[in-house]
Structure 1
Amino acid sequence: MITLSPEAYAIIEGRHSDPFRYLGLHDEGGHHVVRAFIPEAQNVEAIGEHGERAPLERIHEAGLFAGALPNGSRKYQLRARFGDNVVELDDPYRFPPVLTDFDLYLLGEGTHQQIYDKLGAHPMTLDGVEGVAFVVLAPNAKGVSVVGDFNYWNRRRHPMRVRGVGYWELFIPQASVGDHYKFDIIEPNGQHLPLKSDPFAFATEVRPKTASIVFDEAKLARPRPAPSGMNALSAPMSIYEVHLGSWRRKGNNEWLTYRELAEQLPAYAKDMGFTHIEFLPVNEHPFDGSWGYQPTGLYAPTSRFGTPDDFAALVDACHREGVAVLLDWVPGHFPDDPHGLGHFDGTALYEHANPLQGRHRDWGTLIYNYGRTEVVNFLVSNALFWLDRYAVDGLRVDAVASMLYLDYSRPADEWIPNKYGGRENLEAIDFLRRFNTEVFGHYPQATTAAEESTAWPQVSRPVEFGGLGFGYKWNMGWMHDTLKYIGKDPIHRKYHHGDILFGLHYAFSENFILPLSHDEVVHGKRSILGRMPGDQWQRFANLRAYYSFMFGHPGKKLMFMGCEFGQEREWNHEQSLDWHLLEQTSYAGVQALIRDLNRLYRSVPALHELDCDPAGFEWVVTDDANNNVFAWIRKGNEPRARCLVVVNFSPNVYHDYSIRVPFAGAWREIFNSDSAHYGGSNVGNVGEVRTRDALVPELHLTIPPLGAIFLVPES
């Protein structure tokens, strides 16, 4: 009976933290000893590089074998018999390390910019043999094994070795592209955790299954780039926000695939005149009802609609149509599903241990520990990953306010102040600045946008000047105030005139996007059309006037799918938009209005060149509360690049309405929301109006009911 060492029993029991120290080829007493652990094998022999054969003795019934190779052989294969089957195997424990010392140095420092090239599952050829290298961070684990299709999900078969400060790695020759896998992790107290999905998985199973899938991400067919300059402050940005699972569905209520979406969605967005499509989060997520905002696989496009190559094809199709792609990105929280990041190595690795810091009360999710180098590196690298591998054009960061404030949605006694006694999350601030610095440093044509709902200063100002460094900020105040105003009956709007005026007091304090997002058409808020008062004609006229007001207002534009044709009901993520409504003229008129507004916004420099500059705006009428009329001039860079916007939020027609303008002569009416083409009453100025003789040029206009008109000076 052979007496086994404690190391041998650690291998047998699947708890050895450095299996290479025992398994594989070792020089012992002048002999080359090979040890292999292959459960279920009846016998095993080693085949040397010159064909020499060395039977290995079974030294434990669990499947531990050992024997000597002839001196001189450094490379070998294993031949194992399983019943009637004989299989030749490359021994994972004869291969060199996957991570270099320089990798470990950069990972420890937190400056490895392409961490996704190292962590996760990477098909490769190592020492002349094809296989897959697996690397995972679990610094507090007592042991980590890879389990998957290649080892029949046997947690004892492929224990990994630990390197650096807790990076576990193993090259497995038997693994290949398409294999399903997870990590079996032994927590510090010696207990096995539920099997964990790979935080760096590039592909995953379709929910409710949760395994990671080996994908050769290096062979991804990367999309072509979008046209340059699309994210510039001076460029028109009209964003179509889309939830891929419910934009359009098949007749049996099945999702469209990425490939099917690629055939329809980009062409539709282009036809409608949108410059950008923003996808609600496409990262893998277990719960449909989270809409992607509770992700478990930040590096994997959700498998609901296809493969990573399929998603890349969708991005490519958008770029082919000249439409840029933005992704909704969620670094603010993550769910506590047992296969995910929560308690990943038996400790609070990605989250805070204290629930007063590490758990969101509202959403029941966990909060990243932004003070941890490995976590920041994980998140920043993920942002760069989508810009690099999938050529996306920008990231909209969700729930930034929840990241910035330690007391976000918490009672006074349920949060922990920062080191200065304040409520600001200093680590999150540093993370956001690092994120934006890295994104713009590596991809200056890209952009970022913050969903930030407070008065936090300088969100979209450069980091070097004390800002957070975002390209844009969602103007949540504008959205709130204007929707409140437009929801009032016109007879009461004069008492809320300031709701429209107030937004211009701070309109240029940030680079703003005006959002009518998914959040405004769910949870009992009704659709945008559903908020409009009055009879059917007035509701649609109100909607057209409101949309026109939005496109005439300074700031980039964002509109959630369905809003562009006046979806009547609230958005439901489990079914398609109500495209059948376009058979009715009222809804088709709204769609035509948005198409024309996008065309005007893109073609008229005054409507976009100085969107984020106070030099691009001048009030003309602010004090006509009794008539619910507003008027302003939008300005472009050229002296005569001007556009007069007049909005009437009352149901009355106003004739001979006097408005001063900067230039005498003819002004051409280029847009009228009351056009019969959109379902209106066709009240307007018959295409052109000339100024009256006066010290200051004046136009005397006919202003349509619940309508907006845009006029430009003739050159």
Structure 2
Amino acid sequence: MPPHMNADDVQALLAARHDAPFDVLGLHKVGGKSWLVALVPDAETLSARFGRKTVEIPRLDGPIFAGPVPNSKLGYTLNATYPGGDDWAFDDPYRFGPVLGDMDRHLIGEGTHRRLWQALGAHVTKHEGVPGTHFAVWAPNAAHVSLVGDFNVWDGHRNPMRRVGQTGCWEIFMPGMAEGTLYKYEIAPQHGAAFQKADPVAFGAQHPPATASVVRDISGYGWTDDAWMQARAERNRRDRPISIYEVHLGSWRRAADGRMLSYRELATQLVDYATYMGFTHLEFLPVSEFPFDGSWGYQPVGMYAPTIRFGPPHEFRDLVEAAHNAGLGVLLDWVPGHFPTDAHGLAQFDGTALYEHEDPREGFHHDWNTLIYNYGRTEVRNFLTANAVYWLSEYHVDGLRVDAVASMLYRDYSRPHDQWVPNKDGGRENYEAIAFLREMNTVAYGEVPGIMTVAEESTAFPGVSTPVDAGGLGFGFKWNMGWMNDTLRYMEKDPVHRSWEHHLITFPIDWAWTENFILPISHDEVVHGKGSMIDKMPGNEWEKFANLRAYYGYMWGFPGKKLLFMGCEFAQWQEWNHDVSLDWDALRGHSQRGVQALVRDLNHLYRETPALHVNDCDPAGFRWIMNDPQRSLTAFARFGGPGDAPVIVVCNFTPMEWHDVRLGVPGGDGSWSEVLNTDAETYGGGNRINAGGVTTEEEGCHGLDRSIRITVPPLSTVMFRRDP
């Protein structure tokens, strides 16, 4: 037996439990003599070649071969023979030194590695002059970690990994291993049987329901979107028009045979459509790899892997690049709030509650049957914060919309009174999650200038979109869930009852300036029995479409950025179903084509009219003109910067046509052009328009010195812009 090993080493290797295999395997010089030890199951013989010299390595015990070899500074290759005469020449993984350097080790140990994915995961690279793939994983409480895959028949005995100092990481360089290799980590806990896990930092995965990670080389993409990247900071500002088309990639449109479109197909079809419709940004439901289609991506397992459902990573980049080159920003829904319990995922990753809390009162979501990240652990915060930077930098994504922020902020979120643990001060706020969100936003904006982050947050938690240095969470924008809930409640009511509920359409302005708001009509509003947008509207078919057109006009006129889920822009009748395509055949109907044309025109008007977007997040951009609950009429003015023409938005939420309505207007004498009327014939309406515009009269009204007289069609929104 070689002098650097003993019987315990042999038994540990045979049992796949050795915690320091590189101390034993490979080439070791002891007392001036070199010894080579290799673990090659199923081999009949083994030899090592040093330059032109070949040395037979005798069998020590079972699959372990060990023997003296010449002292040499040359590298070596191994050659194994197998029953039946087959042989295999290969580079020994155990002749290579560590890949992770001192700085990586320091930052990983400290939990501050801003580019964590460049250290962990699987990287196609060249090490010590030999091409191959480097693997590294964080599993601090494991007794032993092995790399397994098709290349070693998923046998955890064959490729044990090196423990990296005190970082809790394990690594191995596999010479000759190329992109496309399937792999997992076999982890032996301190107690109990070994199990296999997918790589938390894998850049690719098998198509579900298969669960292996896949080696993907994400280097070397030749981006051609420089013009967009240099200008995107300007496009993401709160005084710019932001109109977002929210998309579930698997069901936006499908091929004739029912299959999902690829990233590259979406790069033409989806990008062309969103551009035609006048949206400024695309927002994708989560694309991080996830096992269950029915979760829509909101229960991710592979946080660093674009889902293979639509293609490999470079093809996802093709989609982002195509969007940028068409003038569209790209936002991703991002889920750092929880993760599923799938056996191949993060749950009990190294045999302990590593990423999650041990106590289910802190670590388990009853609503979703998922586990909650332990934000108090620096390495877990690093994993998530680096993941945000990863998507923003590696894939040129322009922003992240963070899912379920409310569930992160409060320890008692959707929990019975006896199923949560108070914070150190006895309160319900999750201090650790709050600190994580602040850190994530600080790092994201600092590392990748020009991006935006958006919070889906449904409570009155203060300062969500206030900068961190001013005491806020640091998000760029927040979804206005209150606006969405109140206004949809209003619109679902029969018009005869709306006069009693008029506050629902006006009250949202009371908090409109507390955050930088986005007005969302998202996927959550058209699923799980809630019906489609057109189906929510009361009345006969004509009234339903008129109601919806009036609502969209009100939404685009109201302060706040805009978000609309796919299918809502053409009023498909069916509730959204993630398993099938949108009902594009609905566009054969004149009314559906009319709604689509309206949304397109609203987008273009919003983008081209400073008064409708410059002060979306500033009270200087808004003034009430009229609220008439009895007639369900409301009117308000929108203002841009100095010199920008103001816009008047008038909404009628009854099926009555109002003639000769006198409306106060800002400014002096002049004329106002009707720039949008949802009752126009082209949108499917009755074409009751204010043709030729209107001229101010000296009669004061609504506290203003000048007024106009207009016709307001039934169930409509009409917009007027001051002529130069």
Q: State whether TM-score is above 0.5.
A: yes
CA distance in 1, matches of 2:282, 2:718: 27
1:363 CA drift (Å): 0.4
1:13 CA drift (Å): 1.5
Matched, 1:14 2:26: no
For the residue of structure 2 that corresponds to 1:72, the secondary structure is coil
Map residues 443-462 of structure 1 onto 2, 5 A cutoff.
Answer: 443-462=448-467
1:219 CA drift (Å): 2.8
Matched, 1:358 2:358: no
The match for 1:656 among 639, 655, 660 is 660
CA distance in 2, matches of 1:444, 1:46: 52
Matching residue of 2:566? 561
Matching residue of 1:81? 81
Matching residue of 1:112? 113
User: Mean Cα displacement is larger for which, 146-155 or 389-398?
Assistant: 146-155
- What CA deviation, in whole Å up to 9, does each residue of 1:317-343 have, x standing for no partner? 111111100000000000000000000
CA distance in 2, matches of 1:561, 1:72: 66
- What CA deviation, in whole Å up to 9, does each residue of 1:474-511 have, x standing for no partner? 00000000000011111100000111111000001000
Matched, 1:548 2:553: yes
Letter in 2 for 1:88: A
1:161 CA drift (Å): 1.2
Matching residue of 2:340? 335
Letter in 2 for 1:463: V
For the residue of structure 2 that corresponds to 1:292, the secondary structure is coil
Map residues 162-201 of structure 1 onto 2, 5 A cutoff.
Answer: 162-163=163-164, 164-193=166-195, 195-201=196-202
For the residue of structure 2 that corresponds to 1:45, the secondary structure is strand
**1:15–1:142 contact (8 Å) kept in structure 2:** yes
Letter in 2 for 1:102: M
1:220 CA drift (Å): 3.7
1:212 CA drift (Å): 0.5
1:529 CA drift (Å): 0.8
Letter in 2 for 1:157: R
User: Mean Cα displacement is larger for which, 77-86 or 475-484?
Assistant: 77-86
Matching residue of 1:707? 716
Matched, 1:466 2:509: no
Matching residue of 1:153? 154
**1:527–1:569 contact (8 Å) kept in structure 2:** yes
CA distance in 2, matches of 1:46, 1:88: 9
Matched, 1:373 2:378: yes
1:223 CA drift (Å): 6.2
Letter in 2 for 1:219: G
CA distance in 2, matches of 1:419, 1:648: 52
For the residue of structure 2 that corresponds to 1:168, the secondary structure is strand
Matching residue of 1:307? 312
Identity of paired residues, percent? Answer: 53
TM-score, normalization: structure 2?
Answer: 0.97
- What CA deviation, in whole Å up to 9, does each residue of 1:148-174 have, x standing for no partner? 122222211000011123100011114
Letter in 2 for 1:67: G
Task: Count residues in correspondence.
Answer: 711
1:252 CA drift (Å): 2.1
CA distance in 1, matches of 2:328, 2:138: 37
CA distance in 2, matches of 1:259, 1:322: 17
**1:448–1:472 contact (8 Å) kept in structure 2:** yes
Letter in 1 for 2:706: P
The match for 1:669 among 671, 674, 681 is 674
CA distance in 2, matches of 1:320, 1:206: 29
For the residue of structure 2 that corresponds to 1:533, the secondary structure is coil
**1:144–1:160 contact (8 Å) kept in structure 2:** yes
User: Mean Cα displacement is larger for which, 633-642 or 675-684?
Assistant: 633-642
The match for 1:685 among 687, 690, 695 is 690
For the residue of structure 2 that corresponds to 1:309, the secondary structure is helix
**2:645–2:723 contact (8 Å) kept in structure 1:** no
Matched, 1:625 2:629: yes
Matching residue of 2:98? 97
CA distance in 2, matches of 1:293, 1:658: 50
CA distance in 2, matches of 1:519, 1:336: 23
CA distance in 1, matches of 2:326, 2:272: 7
- What CA deviation, in whole Å up to 9, does each residue of 1:638-657 have, x standing for no partner? 24421011011111111110
Matching residue of 2:219? 218
CA distance in 1, matches of 2:131, 2:643: 65
**2:130–2:176 contact (8 Å) kept in structure 1:** no
Map residues 487-506 of structure 1 onto 2, 5 A cutoff.
Answer: 487-506=492-511
**1:670–1:687 contact (8 Å) kept in structure 2:** no
For the residue of structure 2 that corresponds to 1:586, the secondary structure is helix
For the residue of structure 2 that corresponds to 1:218, the secondary structure is coil
User: Mean Cα displacement is larger for which, 679-688 or 344-353?
Assistant: 679-688
1:71 CA drift (Å): 2.2
User: Mean Cα displacement is larger for which, 593-602 or 636-645?
Assistant: 636-645
Q: Please provide the CA RMSD for this pair.
A: 1.3
CA distance in 1, matches of 2:30, 2:58: 16
User: Mean Cα displacement is larger for which, 316-325 or 427-436?
Assistant: 316-325
Unaligned runs of 5+ in 2: none
CA distance in 1, matches of 2:6, 2:505: 81
For the residue of structure 2 that corresponds to 1:204, the secondary structure is coil
**1:150–1:174 contact (8 Å) kept in structure 2:** no
CA distance in 2, matches of 1:115, 1:336: 23
For the residue of structure 2 that corresponds to 1:140, the secondary structure is coil
Matched, 1:277 2:282: yes
For the residue of structure 2 that corresponds to 1:203, the secondary structure is coil
1:221 CA drift (Å): 4.5
Matching residue of 1:67? 67
Letter in 2 for 1:713: R
CA distance in 2, matches of 1:401, 1:687: 49
The match for 2:237 among 210, 213, 232 is 232
1:4 CA drift (Å): 5.3
CA distance in 2, matches of 1:349, 1:381: 17
Unaligned runs of 5+ in 1: none
**1:223–1:315 contact (8 Å) kept in structure 2:** no
CA distance in 1, matches of 2:6, 2:383: 41
1:564 CA drift (Å): 0.1
Matching residue of 2:248? 243
For the residue of structure 1 that corresponds to 2:58, the secondary structure is strand
- What CA deviation, in whole Å up to 9, does each residue of 1:692-713 have, x standing for no partner? 1235110011111101111111
Letter in 1 for 2:178: S
User: Mean Cα displacement is larger for which, 51-60 or 555-564?
Assistant: 51-60
1:74 CA drift (Å): 4.9
User: Mean Cα displacement is larger for which, 270-279 or 174-183?
Assistant: 174-183
**1:589–1:677 contact (8 Å) kept in structure 2:** yes
- What CA deviation, in whole Å up to 9, does each residue of 1:91-134 have, x standing for no partner? 11111111112211111111111010010001111111111111
1:277 CA drift (Å): 0.4
Map residues 115-130 of structure 1 onto 2, 5 A cutoff.
Answer: 115-130=116-131
1:574 CA drift (Å): 0.4
Letter in 2 for 1:379: L
For the residue of structure 1 that corresponds to 2:331, the secondary structure is strand
The match for 2:491 among 469, 486, 508 is 486
**1:517–1:559 contact (8 Å) kept in structure 2:** yes
- What CA deviation, in whole Å up to 9, does each residue of 1:49-73 have, x standing for no partner? x32222101011x211112121234
**1:204–1:213 contact (8 Å) kept in structure 2:** yes
CA distance in 1, matches of 2:488, 2:159: 58
